[in-house]
Structure formats: structure tokens, C-alpha cells
Chain A
Amino acid sequence: MDRLSFDIAHLVAGGLVLVSFMLLYQDRLFALLNMFALQAVVLALSVGWQAYVQDAPHLYITAAITLAFKAIVIPVALHRIVARLGIHREVETVVATVPTMLAGIALVSLSMVVMLRVTQGADALAREDLAFALSVVLLGLLMMVTRRNAVSQVVGFMSLENGLILAATGAKGMPLVVEISVAFSILIALIVIGIFLFRIRERFDSVDLQALDESRGESR
């Protein structure tokens, strides 16, 4: 592999981690959704570049699916949900921004240390990809843990899944069927979660998960 293609792949995957960080500190829902769409675009770029480098045409399909669903369908759907729920003005602060960012940096360095050590035999591109993918997964999880609003939890979950796609395309020989089925399961998850959001809203007048806990008789 020549130096340039490696650098480009490195750049795009690193951009994905960067967008994950940007997701972490968005406290307005619309900004969060835009950022998520941006992440999906970057992911599609990365997958497309992988398809070009690996000379694997089916990865173009993956990239297209990512672009269509993750960058357009899901953000638009979530946009409309947020608008209909009327929660676009809500600001959520569970954990302050600075500690979250610091934790995110620690997680990225942890995933670098682990992945670069574990995958010593593999080729350089796959190693970098896996390390970045683990970072994205961990940052997505961190987002789910630090957010309270159901919509931002959904976004955290989706961005976690973006990390998985990145890992899958980095490794050579991932069958297309698996990726398509993952993409569709994410879509179905979105539908289910969307329905749940409205149900929660109907019941509790809020999509703040705290309301769920209070209805169970525990206020924390």
C-alpha cells in the first residue's frame, strides 16, 4: 500500500473520532443531530476510501447505505421527532463538558494502547482502523452514559454502531450480507425507538429518562 492512501484512510478515520468528540459536547438536540449526520458522512467517506484501497466494490454499497440511512434518513427522522415532541430547546447537563471531554481523551488513549498492542501482526491500515473504531465505540458508550435525554441516547447508540461499521470495513473480507443486515437492524432499531419515544412522551410528558425512574418509585 502506498503512503498516500494510508494517510488518507488515517485522516478520515481520525476525522470520525474527532466528530465523536464534537458529538460529546453538543447540548442542543438539533446541533447534535447535525453533528451525527456529519459523522455519518465522514464514515461513508472512510468506507468509500476503503472500498477504493481494498478494491472491494461491495464496500461502495456499504458506503451508499451509510450515506443514505445514517446521513439522511435517520437524522431527518430524528429531526422531525424532536420537532414534533417540541423538545428542541431543551438543554441537558448530567456531567459537565470538561470532565466528559477528559474522559473521552482517556478512552481514546486507552483504545490506542490496547489495540495497537493486540494487533501487532496485522497490517498498518487495519491496526489504525481498529484503534479508531474502538475509540468511536467507547465514545458512543460514554455519550449514552452521560446523557439523560432519550434522543441523545439514541444518537449515542447510533454513533457506537458507526464505530462498528468502521471496524468491519477495516478488516478485509467482511461479507456484504452482514453489513446490509446490520444496517437494516439499525433502521428497525430507529423505528422501535421512535415509537417508544412517543409512548414515553405520551405517558410522562417528557423524554427525560429520569421520569422513567421516578415512575418506578425511585428518584435519583
Chain B
Amino acid sequence: MPLVGFFIGDVVLLVLGGAALAWGRQRRGSDAVYGATLVLSLVAFVAALAHLLGASGTAETLVLPLGLPWSGAHFRIDALSAFFLAVVDFGAAAASLYAIGYGRHEHEPLRVLPFFPVFLAGMNLVLIADDAFTFLLAWEFMSLASWALVMAHHREAGNLRAGLVYVTMASAGTFALLLAFGLLAGTDGDFTFAAIRAHGPTPVVAAVVLGLVLFGTGSKAGLVPLHVWLPLAHPAAPSHVSALMSGVMTKVAIYGFMRVTFDLLGTPSWWWGIPVLITGATTAVIGVLFALVQSDLKRVLAYSTIENIGVIFVALGLALAFLGNGFTAAAALAMTAALFHVLNHSLFKNLLFFGAGAVLTATGSRDLGRMGGLLNRMPATGLFVLIGCAAISALPPLNGFVSEWLVFQAILLSPALWSWALKLLIPAVGAMLALAAALAGACFVRAYGIAFLGRPRGPEASDAREVDRWSLTAMGVLAVLCLLTGIFPGVVIDALAPIVQAAIGAAMPSQSAIAWLSIAPIAESRSSYNGLLVFFFIVSSALLAAYAIHRFASAAIRRAPAWDCGFPEADPITQYSAESFSQPVRRVFGNFAFRARERVEMPPPGDLRPARFEVTLVDLAWEMLYAPLIGVVGRVADVLNRVQFLTIRQYLSLVFAALVFLLLVLASWG
């Protein structure tokens, strides 16, 4: 009760703050706003974490006489909401801290400031809602606030389209959720989650609801083929908002999926995992392939978000599959992996978007083709982004490795299942995940290498300066947390146990008892991982290698070649570019993943034009799904447009015909 009340107070304060800003039109309030959201989010984070660690397993509820008059607004915080509240509010706090510095470069602060606290409020409200009406209201509130933030820089090319696509997809998703909750509530019309839990849907209704929820939350999280808005909208927002949308808002969507599938729908059938696994694996591979060929830094990150969402959905699909077949221990492992990856992705995706924002501030560009050599000019940002890149590429000893390793541990348990469909599907999904993980590594080697290593490719990069301390502090905190959660994963796994216990009825074995901070998901004899050991090994071997190079190689006499292979003064343009680095992958996967076409235009001898090399990439989801859909809508609209120009008598006849038709339906009903 006090906790829920606190969170509602938090939400109200944030909304009122946003409204006051919009009302007051105070242009200089940037520091104050972000300072206030920082404090509020930190307090909320501590409260949620305390609930998660302290009163594990208990749920607090509160009913307020708001919303629908006959039911009121129900709120509830259990372990699952507390975990997601902690993730959201920590991300919000980090973004606020970052924005104290970053927000000073904003040209039109009033387009961002009022909506930022409102957006945070919307996300918090979704997580504490305990009836369908409040949930959908909060969900739409969150969508609209984030849409306003996407449209903050609406004069830049492409942002208007991004906003349009985003708001359309968000509405479609909410509509699917509306139908899902309508089906769940049944004919009684009681929309509280408690009532939905109590009466339990029939198998057919449950299957339809599963599909609708996968659509509704998937469109928010960015599941393929519902992802098209994400790489447009996330980069369009200011960087701290991009970080929140990518790192945190997608997690709210995952919360919605988990709340419905693991809580409201009751016990899963054996096949429920299959659609989730297939979409998750497709999402992971397609997302990372597109991330690999982008040349806009923030778009790389947005597509990488799609990949990580795919990984999380694969883990959730595994949990559903194991749970539906009665393997609760394995389901607990998969769900722990999913939640762990939720946490990790919120940490390193925020970090990387902050880094991208820092690069954008320093160079004024998001184009990888104009960067290079930023490590020398922005050493601290470079270090933090390196940690983030290593973490998102799932390199030990960082946190990304642990969660993906746990996912693979769950995949390795699949032979125990009795269903042949799952037995065959899950290893295939595992192979796709492995492919995605490897490509993610390549993607971030490319992104980091092109941006931070080598030599500057343009004057923007060579004149770059390190960003302010606020931004650096935010990035530093996140980088340290990436490292800490990677080294001490057992602590996190134990903290996640009550959530998994509540959702599945089993939990992973306690990790704190295992010596030397190792983690062993099933049994120590089978597999175990010790982040601390790996960390010490990497640090010591790196130090040894560095010492050896400096001691032996640097001291040796070096002779430089006289002609330097014909490049005595190599131009920065001769370096690997972002496009050339991804060319092998583009060649291999290009034909079926993006229908890539390469065209070389060679001017004839004597012509002084430069030769041109053009690559066209097509998002097949857009071309095969959305373009036909838009065409159909356009044609239908053309046909219906004629209805706008009827005579009065024809309008009357339409009304009359509709009335008679309805009466006929009524007459033939019984």
C-alpha cells in the first residue's frame, strides 16, 4: 500500500511537472527538470529495489476511485513489476543525469522538457497497473509521450515520417492489446487482473490472446516484422530519449508480454513457445543483419535493440516451452536468462546511446563515414563505449555474456522435451542465436572501429572535443555496472529468483552458496562460469601482453620502408569505411535478407567524373508486408472517397439502407 501510493505520487509529480513546464514556457529550466527527474527516479529505483530484495513474493495493491466509475483504478506491485520498475527507474535516472549535460545543447528545449517527465510517468504507470483499463490508458499515455519526444526535432528530414509510422504502429499495437484484454475479460466485463486471473480463458481464447499480445507488445518492442518504426523513431529522438526508448520502453513492452502470458493466461499449452521462439530468432538475426549495414550510428544501435529484443523473446519462448511441457526447472533457467538480459540490455543500450549522443554532440554528425580517430579526442567516452560494445557483443567478463550464456544453457536442455517439434526447433533457434551473437560482435567491432579508431575522416571528427562531466558520469556509472553485473552474476540471479518463483513456481538454485562466486545454472558438474576468474585472467594476460610488447617489441630497432607500398602519405579516405567493412556480410546475406544490389558506374576514358559505387538495400518486411497494405488502404480510401460527394437524397438512402439492414439482421437473428 505505501509503496504503490508512493509510485502513484511519483507519477503525479512527473505529470504535473511536465504540465507546469508546458504552461510556464520556462526556457532555462533544463537543469532543474533533469535534476528533479534524477532525484525522483533514483528514489523510485531504491524503493522498487528494496521491495524486490526485501519483501520478496508479497504484492501490494491499491484501488483508487479513478478511471471507469464502476470499477476504479487498480494498482499492484509484485516482484515482476518491482523488477521492471527498478530497471525503468534506474534507466530514467541515468538518462536524467546524462541529460543535465546533454540537454544544454538542445535548440528547442521546450519541445523536450515537458514530455520527458510525462514519458517517465507513463512507463511507471504501465508497470503498476492492475486492471486492463488502467494498463491500456498508461500504455497509450507512454506511447503518445514518446511520440511527442520523437517529434521534438520535427524539422529534420525524415523525422515527420518516423513520427507518422511510429504513431500508426503504436496505435495498431494498442488496438491488438485492447482486443486481447477484451477477450480475457470475457463476457463478465470485469477488467481487473485479479478477475481475469480467477476465471482463466478457454484454450481457443488463450491461443488468440497469445497471438494478439505477441502482436501488441511485439509492435512496441520491435519484433520482426513489426519493427519498421523502431529504426526510424528511436534515432529521431534526442539521444537521452533514444536511450530510454531503446533501453527501457522496449522493456515495458516485454513486461506487458510477461504479465499476460505468464500471469493472466494461466498454465501454457505445450506449443505456446513455438511462435515466440520463431519470431524471436528471426528478429535476432534480421535485427543484427540490418545493424551491420547501417552507416548511421544511432540506427546501428536501434537495429541492435531489435536483435536484443529477439534474444529476450527467444528466452521467454524457451520458458514458455519448458513450462508448457512441465519442465519447471528449465523454464526457471530460461526466464532468469530473459530477465537478466532485460537488465543487461537496459544497461549497455543506455550506455551506447549516451555514447552516440556524446559523439553527436562532439562531431555534430551521426554518420559513421565522417568519424574516425575519436578515441584520441574523447578518451573517456571512447573507453566507456568500448565497454558497452564489448558487453553487447557478449564478451566475457561483461554482463552480456552471462545472460546469453544462460540462454544457451537453457537451449542445451531441449533434448529432454518430449515434443519432436520443439526438439527440432529449439536447436535451430540456438543456431540462429549463435549466428546473431557472432554478427553482433562484427557489428560492434565495425561501429567502434570506424568511429573511434583510425584517423578522422572529416573535419568534424578531427575537431571533436570531450563532452561534459555529467554525461561522462552517467556513462561511467553504466559502464561500471556492466562490469560488476558481469563479474558477480550470482547476486543478480539470486535477486531474480523471487520473480521467477512467482511466475513459474520454481527458481534456479541459489548461487550465493557456490564457492568463488561461480554460477552453475543446473549443476556444477554440468557447466559453470566464474566471471571473476575470467576477469582476472583477462586483466593479467592483457597486462602481460602489454608489458611484453613494450619491453621487447617497442625497444627493438624499427626500420620504416622507403616507399611505403606507394602510400607515403595515406589519405584518411583510404581507411576501411563503414560500408566496406560490412561488405562481406552484405554479399553473403544480402540477397535474401535485404535484396542488396551493388552498382558500379565507371565513366568512360576521358571523362573526368568520379566513378560511383551504389548499394541499395530493401527492408523486405516493408516491401512485402507494409507496402501492399498501404496500397490496399489507399485503394479502399479512393473508393470510399466517392461517398464524400453524394446528394442529400443518397445520404438519406444510405442511412435508410443501413437501418433496414440492421433491422433485417435483428429479424433473422433468432
A interface residue numbers (CB < 8 A to B): 94, 107, 110-111, 113-114, 117-118, 138, 141-142, 144-145, 148, 209-210, 212-213, 216, 218, 220
Q: Is the CB of B652 within 8 A of A138?
A: no
Taking CB atoms, residues of chain B closer than 8 Å to A110 are 660, 663-664, 667
Q: Is the CB of B647 within 8 A of A213?
A: yes
Interface membership of B540, Cβ < 8 A: no
21 pairs, A vs B, C-beta closer than 8 Å? A107-B660, A110-B663, A111-B663, A113-B667, A114-B663, A114-B667, A117-B666, A141-B655, A141-B659, A144-B652, A144-B656, A145-B649, A145-B652, A145-B656, A148-B649, A209-B647, A209-B648, A210-B647, A212-B647, A218-B647, A220-B650
Taking CB atoms, residues of chain A closer than 8 Å to B656 are 141-142, 144-145
Q: How far is the CA of A110 from the CA of B647 in the complex (A)?
A: 27
Taking CB atoms, residues of chain B closer than 8 Å to A141 are 652, 655-656, 659
Interface membership of B653, Cβ < 8 A: yes
Fill in one digit per residue for B628-670: 1 if any A CB lies within 8 Å of its CB, else 0.
0000000000000000010111101101100110011011001
Q: How far is the CA of A215 from the CA of B172 in the complex (A)?
A: 41
Q: How far is the CA of A212 from the CA of B645 in the complex (A)?
A: 12
Taking CB atoms, residues of chain A closer than 8 Å to B667 are 110, 113-114, 117
B interface residue numbers (CB < 8 A to A): 645, 647-650, 652-653, 655-656, 659-660, 663-664, 666-667, 670
A sample of 12 more A-B contacts (CB under 8 A), given A117-B666, A145-B656, is A94-B649, A111-B663, A114-B663, A114-B667, A117-B667, A118-B666, A138-B660, A141-B652, A141-B655, A145-B649, A148-B649, A210-B647
Question: In the complex, what residue of chain B is closest to A144 when comparing beta carbons?
Answer: B652
Smallest CB separation, B308 vs chain A (Å): 56
Question: In the complex, what residue of chain B is closest to A217 when comparing beta carbons?
Answer: B645
**Interface of chain A, main secondary structure:** helix
Q: How far is the CA of A120 from the CA of B663 in the complex (A)?
A: 16
Smallest CB separation, B60 vs chain A (Å): 47
Taking CB atoms, residues of chain A closer than 8 Å to B650 are 220
Taking CB atoms, residues of chain A closer than 8 Å to B660 are 107, 110, 138
**Interface of chain B, main secondary structure:** helix
Smallest CB separation, A164 vs chain B (Å): 14
Q: Is the CB of B648 within 8 A of A212?
A: yes
Smallest CB separation, B644 vs chain A (Å): 11
Q: Is the CB of B663 within 8 A of A117?
A: no
Question: In the complex, what residue of chain B is closest to A213 when comparing beta carbons?
Answer: B647
Partner of A117, one of B645, B649, B670: B670
Taking CB atoms, residues of chain A closer than 8 Å to B666 are 114, 117-118
Smallest CB separation, A219 vs chain B (Å): 10
6 closest residue pairs by CB, A with B: A213-B647, A113-B667, A114-B667, A145-B653, A141-B656, A114-B663
Question: In the complex, what residue of chain A is closest to B651 when comparing beta carbons?
Answer: A145
Q: Is the CB of B645 within 8 A of A218?
A: yes
Q: How far is the CA of A70 from the CA of B570 in the complex (A)?
A: 98
Smallest CB separation, B659 vs chain A (Å): 7
Q: Is the CB of B652 within 8 A of A220?
A: no
Taking CB atoms, residues of chain B closer than 8 Å to A118 are 666
Most B CB atoms within 10 A — which of A114, A209, A212? A114
Taking CB atoms, residues of chain B closer than 8 Å to A94 are 649
Smallest CB separation, A3 vs chain B (Å): 29
Q: How far is the CA of A113 from the CA of B663 in the complex (A)?
A: 9
Taking CB atoms, residues of chain B closer than 8 Å to A220 are 647, 650
Taking CB atoms, residues of chain A closer than 8 Å to B664 are 110
Q: How far is the CA of A107 from the CA of B660 in the complex (A)?
A: 8
Most A CB atoms within 10 A — which of B649, B650, B655? B649
Taking CB atoms, residues of chain B closer than 8 Å to A142 are 656
Taking CB atoms, residues of chain B closer than 8 Å to A111 are 663
Smallest CB separation, B251 vs chain A (Å): 51
Question: In the complex, what residue of chain A is closest to B645 when comparing beta carbons?
Answer: A218
Taking CB atoms, residues of chain A closer than 8 Å to B655 are 141
Q: How far is the CA of A208 from the CA of B384 in the complex (A)?
A: 79
Taking CB atoms, residues of chain A closer than 8 Å to B670 are 117
Q: How far is the CA of A218 from the CA of B645 in the complex (A)?
A: 9
Question: In the complex, what residue of chain A is closest to B664 when comparing beta carbons?
Answer: A110
Smallest CB separation, A123 vs chain B (Å): 21
Question: In the complex, what residue of chain B is closest to A150 when comparing beta carbons?
Answer: B648
Q: How far is the CA of A141 from the CA of B651 in the complex (A)?
A: 12
Taking CB atoms, residues of chain A closer than 8 Å to B653 are 145
Taking CB atoms, residues of chain A closer than 8 Å to B659 are 138, 141
Question: In the complex, what residue of chain B is closest to A120 when comparing beta carbons?
Answer: B670
Q: How far is the CA of A209 from the CA of B663 in the complex (A)?
A: 29
Q: How far is the CA of A118 from the CA of B663 in the complex (A)?
A: 11
Smallest CB separation, B663 vs chain A (Å): 5
Taking CB atoms, residues of chain B closer than 8 Å to A210 are 647
Question: In the complex, what residue of chain B is closest to A147 when comparing beta carbons?
Answer: B649
Question: In the complex, what residue of chain B is closest to A209 when comparing beta carbons?
Answer: B648
Question: In the complex, what residue of chain B is closest to A156 when comparing beta carbons?
Answer: B652
Q: Is the CB of B652 within 8 A of A209?
A: no
Taking CB atoms, residues of chain A closer than 8 Å to B649 are 94, 144-145, 148, 209
Taking CB atoms, residues of chain B closer than 8 Å to A148 are 649
Smallest CB separation, B665 vs chain A (Å): 10
Question: In the complex, what residue of chain B is closest to A117 when comparing beta carbons?
Answer: B670
Q: How far is the CA of A110 from the CA of B662 in the complex (A)?
A: 11
Taking CB atoms, residues of chain A closer than 8 Å to B648 are 209, 212-213
Taking CB atoms, residues of chain B closer than 8 Å to A107 are 660
Smallest CB separation, B47 vs chain A (Å): 55
Smallest CB separation, B652 vs chain A (Å): 5
Taking CB atoms, residues of chain B closer than 8 Å to A144 are 649, 652, 656
Smallest CB separation, B317 vs chain A (Å): 49
Q: How far is the CA of A156 from the CA of B645 in the complex (A)?
A: 23
Question: In the complex, what residue of chain A is closest to B659 when comparing beta carbons?
Answer: A141
Question: In the complex, what residue of chain B is closest to A218 when comparing beta carbons?
Answer: B645
Question: In the complex, what residue of chain B is closest to A216 when comparing beta carbons?
Answer: B645
